[in-house]
Copies of this chain bind each other. A is one copy, B any other.
Amino acid sequence: MQAEIITIGDEILIGQIVDSNSAFIAQQLNKIGVSVYQITSVQDDTAHILKSLKEAEENADIIILTGGLGPTKDDITKNTIATYFQDTLVQDASVLKNIETLWKNYIKQPLSQLNIDQALIPSKATALMNKVGSAPGMWLEKENKTFISLPGVPFEMKALIQEEVIPRLRKKYKFPYILHKTLLTYGIGESNLAEKIETWEDNLPKHIKLAYLPNLGKVRLRLSAKGNVKEEITKEVDHQINLLLPQIQEYFTGYEDQEESLEALIAKKLSAAKLTLATAESCTGGKIAENITAHAGASSYFKGSIVSYTEEIKINVLKVPETLIAKHSVVSAEVAETMARNVLQIFNTDFAIATTGNAGPTKDNTKEEIGTVFIAIATKNTVYSQKFTFGKPREKVINRAVNKALELLKKEIFKNR
């Protein structure tokens, strides 16, 4: 069973936005056993959309489109689908009712004709109710193929995929099971690793695929397999991993958890153990707090953060001694550790993270190079820090600091607990 994803919108093709919708949809489809054959991004252009629909129908059983469903004239997906299905648009009463409710509760303005017209869908389509926006999803069938059209706004698309598309697909089709397992290795290059495990790789059964995913000192090894019985597939892949592990023992650091982000793992552990967390952020500017609070339920373990973006705030609010800053500079292990220790006390938490660094582009009045970040972890009993050089540009430094801070915290939390 194969799917094709078509993302529609000039903004993708001029590089104004990065298409992150496709990766989300592909993940969700993979989970239920649907492989994605191809992802195609096309312009807001009738002929081009029609052409890609035709090609997708030849290649795939399930065709998912996103984008081009807004109320304005540049949004042409709905009319194009009607043309493709030799159909006309008709008003869907349930969609209109949903739009009226949204307008009454949130927009609090009279409905315009453009809003009302969003309730028009091809007569052959089933509306998929978009509870968080006015553009409905649409489900159309043609012989045994299914066409699904979704809005391009990520949170609207995500809600529709999870609440409507996946359950309906599972009801309609019987899917095989797809298993991916990704092993993390550290400290060996891609080509050396490949030579080390060559015999094992050559002996892999045909239906188990291996991929090397190298990235700055780490190489991920992904094993993929597909079959009808989950237990069989899992057993086979595990067997191959058992053969592999002794050969890469010294480089193997664990499995990549595709379902569980660092934040999710931290969240689960902290809430279960009724432990709490605070952050004191300088160069990360609140982004660690933001990442943590993006998850529902964060208030059960995350108490908050002090973002101290100037020396004055580090001194006056975080109570870092002025003399310590004068001696070591704000970008130092000593200041990072004091920030962590103090925010732990001020917020009365079990764990604290602190960051101080120079994200660039200028050096300001620190001794350290651009890209230098100190990250400290404090608990009731201990505090320690590590120095990192994250390079350039600013955005990369901030993001790597956030990831590294969460990684260090996770290690600390899972240590002996």
Does A255 sit at the interface, judged by CB under 8 A?
A: no
Measured between beta carbons, the chain B residues less than 8 angstroms from A155 are 393, 395-396
Expressed in whole angstroms, the Cα–Cα distance for A105 and B224 within the complex equals 36
Measured between beta carbons, the chain B residues less than 8 angstroms from A24 are 15
Q: Known interface pairs A112-B191, A307-B305, A347-B317. Does A14 touch B30 (Cβ–Cβ under 8 Å)?
A: yes
Does A232 sit at the interface, judged by CB under 8 A?
A: no
Does A273 sit at the interface, judged by CB under 8 A?
A: no
Q: Mark A12-53, 1 if CB is under 8 A from B, else 0.
A: 111111111011111111100001111111111000100010
* B313 x A304 contact (CB < 8 A): yes
Measured between beta carbons, the chain B residues less than 8 angstroms from A42 are 38
Residues 349-402 of A at the B interface (beta carbon under 8 Å): 359-362, 364, 371, 389-396, 398
* B214 x A153 contact (CB < 8 A): yes
Does A303 sit at the interface, judged by CB under 8 A?
A: yes
Does A207 sit at the interface, judged by CB under 8 A?
A: no
* A346 x B317 contact (CB < 8 A): yes
Measured between beta carbons, the chain B residues less than 8 angstroms from A43 are 37-38
Does A190 sit at the interface, judged by CB under 8 A?
A: yes
* B23 x A19 contact (CB < 8 A): yes
* B189 x A389 contact (CB < 8 A): no
Q: A10 touches which one: B153, B211, B347, B398 (CB < 8 A)?
A: B211
Measured between beta carbons, the chain B residues less than 8 angstroms from A131 are 392
* A285 x B296 contact (CB < 8 A): no
Q: How far is the CB of A101 from chain B (nearest CB, A)?
A: 11
Does A248 sit at the interface, judged by CB under 8 A?
A: no
The tally of residues in A whose CB lies under 8 Å from a CB in B reads 119
Q: Mark A39-69, 1 if CB is under 8 A from B, else 0.
A: 1111110001000100100000000000000
Expressed in whole angstroms, the Cα–Cα distance for A192 and B103 within the complex equals 12
Does A334 sit at the interface, judged by CB under 8 A?
A: no
- Of the stretches A78-86, A138-146, A286-294, the one at the interface is A286-294
* B192 x A112 contact (CB < 8 A): yes
Expressed in whole angstroms, the Cα–Cα distance for A23 and B285 within the complex equals 26
Expressed in whole angstroms, the Cα–Cα distance for A112 and B198 within the complex equals 13
Q: A192 touches which one: B109, B195, B393 (CB < 8 A)?
A: B109
Does A210 sit at the interface, judged by CB under 8 A?
A: yes
Expressed in whole angstroms, the Cα–Cα distance for A182 and B210 within the complex equals 44
Residues 292-311 of A at the B interface (beta carbon under 8 Å): 292-294, 296, 298-299, 302-310
Does A123 sit at the interface, judged by CB under 8 A?
A: no
* A23 x B30 contact (CB < 8 A): no
Does A106 sit at the interface, judged by CB under 8 A?
A: yes
* B40 x A38 contact (CB < 8 A): yes
Measured between beta carbons, the chain B residues less than 8 angstroms from A38 are 13, 40-43, 48, 52
Does A227 sit at the interface, judged by CB under 8 A?
A: no
Q: A14 touches which one: B224, B284, B289, B371 (CB < 8 A)?
A: B224
Measured between beta carbons, the chain B residues less than 8 angstroms from A287 are 286, 290, 293
* A13 x B37 contact (CB < 8 A): yes
Expressed in whole angstroms, the Cα–Cα distance for A234 and B249 within the complex equals 61
Measured between beta carbons, the chain B residues less than 8 angstroms from A264 are none
Closest A-B pairs by Cβ, 9 of them = A285-B293, A286-B286, A286-B289, A15-B27, A15-B26, A305-B307, A39-B41, A114-B191, A71-B191
* CB<8 Å pairs between A and B, sample of 25: A10-B222, A15-B22, A16-B180, A16-B182, A19-B19, A40-B41, A70-B212, A70-B214, A72-B190, A72-B194, A73-B201, A109-B189, A112-B195, A113-B195, A284-B290, A285-B293, A286-B293, A287-B293, A289-B307, A290-B290, A293-B398, A296-B362, A298-B309, A304-B306, A316-B346
